[in-house]
Amino acid sequence: MVDTLTRLCKIPAISPHNGGTGEDAKIKELEKIIRELGLDDKAKIKVEYVDDDKAPNKRRPSLFVEYPGKSSRRLCVLTHVDIVPEGDRNSWTLDPFQPEVRGSRLYGRGVSDNGMCLVASLFALKALINAGVEPGYTVSLAFVADEEMGSHFGLEPLLERDIYRRDDLVVVPDSGNDAGDFIEIAEKADWKLKFTVLGKQVHAALPHTGLNACRVANMLAYEVDEALHKAFTEEDDTFDPPFSTFEPTRRYANVPNINTVPGREVFEFDCRVLPSVSLDEAFDIVEKIRRDIEQKTGAKIELEVSRNDAAPTTSPDSEIVKLLTKSVREVLGIEPQTGGIGGGTFAALFRRKGIPAVVWSQECDGVAHQPDEFTEIKYLVNNAKVFALMMAGE
What are the catalytic residues?
A: 82, 147
Quick one: residue 352, left, alpha or beta (phi over 0 = left, psi -120 to 50 = alpha)?
alpha
Of 187, 188, 185, residue with least CA distance to 314: 185
CB atoms under 10 Å from CB of 366, counted, come to 10
3-class state of residue 171 by DSSP: strand
387 Cβ contact list (under 8 Å, min separation 6): 77, 120, 121, 124, 125, 171, 173, 327
Alpha helices (H) along 96-212: 116-130, 155-158
Gap between the Cα atoms of 111 and 99, Å rounded: 8
DSSP for residue 361: -
Cα angle 76-82-83, degrees, rounded to a multiple of 5: 125
* Alpha-helical runs (H) found in the chain: 2-9, 24-36, 116-130, 155-158, 213-231, 279-297, 319-332, 347-352, 377-392
| Contact partners, residue 204, CB within 8 Å, separation at least 6 | 258, 259, 260, 261
Q: Residue 247: which H helix or E strand, with range?
A: strand 245-251
CA distances for 81 relative to 48, 144, 193, 325, angstroms: 14, 6, 26, 26
